[in-house]
Amino acid sequence: MSIVFDAGTHGAQALYRKIDRRVLAFLAICYAVAYIDRVNIGFAKLQMQQNLALSDAAYGFGAAIFFLGYTLFEIPSNQLLTRIGARKTLSRIMLLWGVASMSMFLVTDATSFYVARFLLGVCEAGFAPGMLFYRTRWYPRERLGRAMALLLCAAPLGGIVAAPASGWLLEHMKDVAGLAGWQWMFVIEGVPALILGALALMWLNGAPEDTRWLTADEKRAIIEQRDTERSTRERWPALKTVLRDVGIYRLSVVYFCLICGVYAVGFWLPSILKTSGVNSIIEIGWYSAIPYAAAVAGMYWLSWRKLDAAVRIAPRVRQQGMMVLQADQGAAGIFNGRRPPLTCAAALDQS
C-alpha cells in the first residue's frame, strides 16, 4: 500500500525527513563548499596582493572573471547533465573545481591569477542548476520551496566556517614548507570539493527508483506523486515566449543587483575590515563570520515565517522596500565605516 502524500501525514513526514538527511544535507554541504571556493580570495587578498604586486583593480578583475567562465560554460554543462545524468555531472563538476581551486596556489602574477579564476568559473559552471534540477527528482511541488530555502542557507553557513578558518590558515600556515599562508589556504580549502566529488558517485542516486535506502512503498509513493504532477502540470511555454516576457528581464536586473551586493561583501569585507583598523588576520576572520551568521538566521526565519493576510496584500511593495532600505543602510555603513562593528553591521545589512 502506498504512502499517502498529504502534507500532515506521518508517513510523508518520515519519508521526507529521510530524503532531507540523505540528499538535501549532502547537496547543502556541496553548495557551502562551492561558495567557500568562490569567495576565499577575499581573505587571500590580505597576503597575496602584496606578494603578487596586484592593484585593487587587478584583484577586482580577477574576482569578477570567475563569473565570465561560469556564464560561458553554463549551458554546455547543463547539456551534459541531460546526457549523463545529474549524479555524474555534479561529481564531475566538484572534482574539476576542487583541482582548479587548489591550483590557485600556483599563481605568480596578475595574468596567471586571471587564468586560474577563469578556469575555476569554467569548472564550476552548471553546479547550481544541476543541484536545483536534482532536487526536483525527490520532492513534490509543495516541498520544493522549503528545500530551496535550506539549500540557500548553505552558502552563508559556508561563510561562517570559512571566515575564521581562512584567517587561521593565513596566520598559522605562513612559510610552512616554503609556501605563503594564502597558498596553503587554497590547497586546504580545495580538498573538500575533491572528497565530495568522489563521494557523490557513491552517495547520490540517479533517481528514487535506483536507491537501496528507500523501501519499495516509499519509492512507489515518490514515483506516483511525480507522475501525477507531470500529468497535471501546465505545458511549458516555448523558449521564444519566455524570452519575450518583460517580467523575466525585470527579475534578472533585480537579481543581478542583489548578487553584486552579496559578492561585494564576500570579495571585499576582509580588506574593508583591515582598513577600518583590525590588524589581526584571525580577528578579521571572526568579524567576517558575523554577517554570514545573521544571514543564516534571517533566511531560516523568513523561510518558515507564516505571513498574515495584511502582509500578503502587497508583497511586492514590502520586498522592494526592504531591498532598497538594506542597500541604502549597507552602503552608508560601509562607506562611513571607521570602526569594525559598524563595518560588520553594514555587511550584515547587505546579507
**pLDDT value at residue 6:** 55
Answer yes or no: do 212 and 251 share one domain.
Answer: no
Query: Do residues 77 and 94 make contact, with C-beta atoms less than 8 angstroms apart?
Result: no
**pLDDT value at residue 337:** 47
- Give exposure, 307-332, as e/b (b: 16+ Cβ within 10 Å): eeeeeeeeeeeeeeeeeeebbeebee
**pLDDT value at residue 328:** 45
**pLDDT value at residue 116:** 96
What the block records as the C-alpha cell of 16 is: 521526507
Answer yes or no: do 178 and 261 share one domain.
Answer: no
Answer yes or no: do 77 and 35 share one domain.
Answer: yes
Answer yes or no: do 210 and 295 share one domain.
Answer: no
**Which amino acid is residue 147, in one-letter code?**
A
Q: Residue with C-alpha cell 545529474?
A: 86
- Of 198, 233, 268, the position where a domain reaches its end is 233
Answer yes or no: do 225 and 241 share one domain.
Answer: no
Strand partners, 176: 179
pLDDT along the chain (351 residues), means of 10: 54 89 94 92 94 94 95 87 85 95 96 96 92 89 85 91 94 94 97 96 89 90 82 64 85 88 90 91 93 86 55 46 46 48 48 51
How far is residue 303's CA from residue 141's CA, in Å, rounded to a whole number?
16
Q: Round to the nearest angstrom and report the end-to-end CA distance of the chain.
A: 46
What is the number of domains present in the chain? Answer: 2
Query: Do residues 66 and 117 make contact, with C-beta atoms less than 8 angstroms apart?
Result: yes
Answer yes or no: do 192 and 106 share one domain.
Answer: yes
**pLDDT value at residue 152:** 86
Answer yes or no: do 303 and 345 share one domain.
Answer: yes
Answer yes or no: do 25 and 117 share one domain.
Answer: yes
Answer yes or no: do 175 and 245 share one domain.
Answer: no
Domain that holds residue 344: 237-351
Answer yes or no: do 15 and 92 share one domain.
Answer: yes
- Of 184, 215, 233, the position where a domain reaches its end is 233
CATH number at residue 95: 1.20.1250.20
**pLDDT value at residue 229:** 75
**pLDDT value at residue 317:** 42
pTM above 0.85, yes or no: no
Query: Do residues 78 and 119 make contact, with C-beta atoms less than 8 angstroms apart?
Result: no
**pLDDT value at residue 234:** 55
Answer yes or no: do 71 and 38 share one domain.
Answer: yes
Answer yes or no: do 219 and 252 share one domain.
Answer: no
- Of 216, 233, 250, the position where a domain reaches its end is 233
What the block records as the C-alpha cell of 92 is: 564531475
